[in-house]
């Protein structure tokens, strides 16, 4: 067989010139898998748009969220409909306030509640679960029994009790949601820790005399992050749902502050007067955001945990 010498030389040269072949890291693999998931990518774009809307939407607003448009007050059903000309892009609410600005405000509050609730869950839940799982034995038993007990309490009722007793403020809402959001996370973190703590790298760390707390923080927690991130993405919509639930009942954020739940409640209370836009706009943002978080969470789970498929 004839060997094309020229071609071979060329090939050798190419090889020599080429730099080291780049290995694909686990993270790059995960990223590739995530971006192959169309639903997740679309959701990511939608969610980014919602965030951009909540941050920069104010700049094109004509009315602030507290101003009352006296010109249309009392005739909201006839004059308050969504209208580009008078600046009420989403229409006006029953008090003549601009719904566009109100929806932006509600979006900010709801997203913030979701993210803060999930953050508390990540920090407290991961540490709690990792400590319980790593320590094991009696400590583990007591710590997880405590989680069991708190979890079987109907927290929504306790949360409402908490809000009524200590006053309905955004801060108390954060405290109340933070108190319950970490429970599931701690179980997940504990389960992962149990399977990690007998791995060789942990044994090596123990053998070299690393303190338990350092092992948890430096060796266990970083390995939990994949699961934690996935679960946190799925927690955000749950927190938003909880907050909206309470605000829908009128027990959450108080006027002039608002959130999706409060806006949906107002819309639902006024829909028999024909001001449907009051229901449609907050509900639209609520639904697309929740959808996005669910799909992103699913996409992340598939991307970070390929064996689960």
Residues near another protein (CB under 8 A) are: 145, 148-149, 152-154, 156-158, 160-166, 237, 241, 244-245, 248-251, 261, 264-265, 267-268, 271-272, 276, 279, 283, 286-287, 290-291, 294
User: Do the beta carbons of residue 236 and residue 118 sit within 8 Å?
Assistant: yes
Contact 177, 115 (CB under 8 A): no
Residues 6+ apart with CB under 8 A from 123: 182
Closer of 9 and 78 to another protein (Cβ) = 78
Q: ∠29-34-35 over CA atoms, to 5°? A: 100
> Cβ 185 to another protein, closest distance in Å?
16
Residue 302 near residue 308, CB atoms below 8 Å: yes
Closer by beta carbon to another protein, 69 or else 243: 243
Question: What tokens does 205 get?
Answer: 């760390």
CB of 104 to another protein, least distance (A): 20
Q: How far is the CB of 305 from another protein (least distance, A)?
A: 16
Rounded to whole angstroms, what are the CA distances from 184 to 65, 167, 189, 223?
37, 27, 9, 18
**Does the bond joining 256 to the residue before it have cis omega, within 30 degrees of 0?**
yes
* Nearest CB to another protein, comparing residues 7 and 307: 307
- At a CB cut-off of 8 Å and minimum separation 6, what does 222 contact? none
Q: How many residues does the chain have?
A: 309
* Least Cβ distance, residue 248 to another protein (angstroms): 4
- Residue closer to another protein by CB (options 206, 234) is 234
CB closer to another protein out of 204 and 287 = 287
Closest distance of CB 284 from another protein, Å: 11
């Amino acid at each position: 067989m004839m060997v094309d010498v020229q071609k071979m030389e060329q090939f050798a040269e190419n090889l020599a010139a080429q730099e080291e072949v780049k290995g694909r890291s686990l993270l790059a693999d995960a990223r590739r898998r995530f971006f192959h998931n169309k639903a997740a990518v679309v959701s990511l774009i939608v969610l980014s748009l919602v965030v951009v809307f909540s941050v920069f939407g104010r700049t094109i607003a004509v009315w602030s969220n507290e101003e009352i448009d006296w010109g249309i007050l009392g005739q909201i059903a006839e004059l308050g409909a969504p209208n580009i000309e008078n600046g009420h892009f989403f229409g006006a609410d029953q008090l003549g306030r601009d719904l566009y600005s109100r929806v932006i405000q509600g979006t900010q509050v709801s997203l913030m509640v979701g993210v803060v609730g999930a953050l508390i869950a990540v920090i407290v839940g991961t540490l709690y679960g990792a400590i319980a799982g790593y320590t094991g034995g009696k400590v583990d038993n007591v710590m997880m029994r405590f989680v069991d007990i708190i979890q079987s309490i109907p927290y929504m009722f306790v949360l409402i009790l908490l809000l009524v007793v200590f006053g309905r403020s955004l801060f108390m809402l954060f405290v109340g949601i933070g108190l319950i959001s970490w429970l599931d996370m701690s179980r997940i973190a504990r389960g992962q820790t149990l399977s990690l703590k007998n791995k060789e790298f942990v044994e090596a760390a123990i053998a070299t005399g690393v303190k338990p707390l350092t092992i948890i923080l430096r060796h266990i927690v970083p390995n939990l992050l994949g699961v934690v991130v996935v679960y946190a993405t799925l927690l955000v919509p749950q927190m938003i749902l909880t907050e909206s639930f309470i605000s829908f009942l009128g027990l959450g954020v108080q006027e002039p502050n608002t959130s999706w739940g409060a806006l949906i409640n107002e819309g639902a209370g006024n829909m028999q007067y024909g001001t449907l836009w009051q229901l449609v706009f907050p509900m639209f943002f609520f639904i697309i955001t929740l959808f996005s978080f669910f799909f992103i969470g699913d996409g992340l789970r598939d991307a970070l945990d390929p064996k689960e498929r």
